[in-house]
Amino acid sequence: MHKIVTTVLVVLTVLYPLGVYLALGNVAPQWLAVVLIALAVLRALVTRQRFWWAVASGAAVLALAAWWRDDALAVKLYPVLVNAVLLVVFAVSLRHPPTVVERLARLSEPELPPSGVRYTRKVTAVWCVFFVVNGAVAAYTAAFSSDATWALYNGLIAYGLMGCLMGVEWIVRQWVKRSNTVVSNQP
């Protein structure tokens, strides 16, 4: 049951920009704010991860701003919030290892060699840059673009860019692993 609820919440989170886009003009921003906070709090309760509690806290601030101002901008800033929290989590892990990427790598390779640790630090830094750029574009689309452009970027293009980054990283990782294997096998 827990996996089903988590899956539903992930799907709802991914579809959030589309839902907001379809609701704008039909539903008052205050009610979108209620949906935003409910989604964030439910995700935090189900996952029990500090990351989602930070997102839920930020979502509460955005929801209050949307409620207070009767303005959809605060509701559209949710993707900016998620990027900001991810940036903080990844950046803090660079300062206080192990990095987020190293922890993920150790799930499949518990005995990660020092070269792997160095590589995961670089990948974590790349993700930090991604979150800065993606968050900036999300903020720009929320403040200065049409609702359709905002929804297109935050509901499709941003996910496509994340997928591309993951794919490129996977290709680079295979190349780095082969390079390290060749070097370690030389006499």
pLDDT tens digits in sequence order for the chain, 187 residues long: 778 988 888 898 889 999 999 999 899 988 988 888 888 888 888 888 888 888 889 999 998 998 898 889 999 999 999 999 999 999 999 999 999 999 999 999 999 999 999 999 999 999 999 999 999 999 999 999 999 999 999 999 999 999 999 999 999 999 998 888 765 555 5
State the pLDDT at residue 37.
Answer: 87
Nearest to 146 by CA among 87, 72, 82, 93: 72
CB 66 within 8 A of CB 72: yes
Whole-prediction pTM: 0.88
For residue 61, the one-letter residue type is: V
- Domain-wise residue ranges, the chain: 1-69, 77-181
Q: 32 to each of 22, 64, 136, 167, 187, how far by Cα in Å?
A: 11, 11, 22, 34, 64
Distance CA 46, CA 122 (A): 31
Distance CA 64, CA 106 (A): 40
The two tokens of residue 29 are 């921003």
Distance CA 131, CA 25 (A): 30
Distance CA 126, CA 120 (A): 10
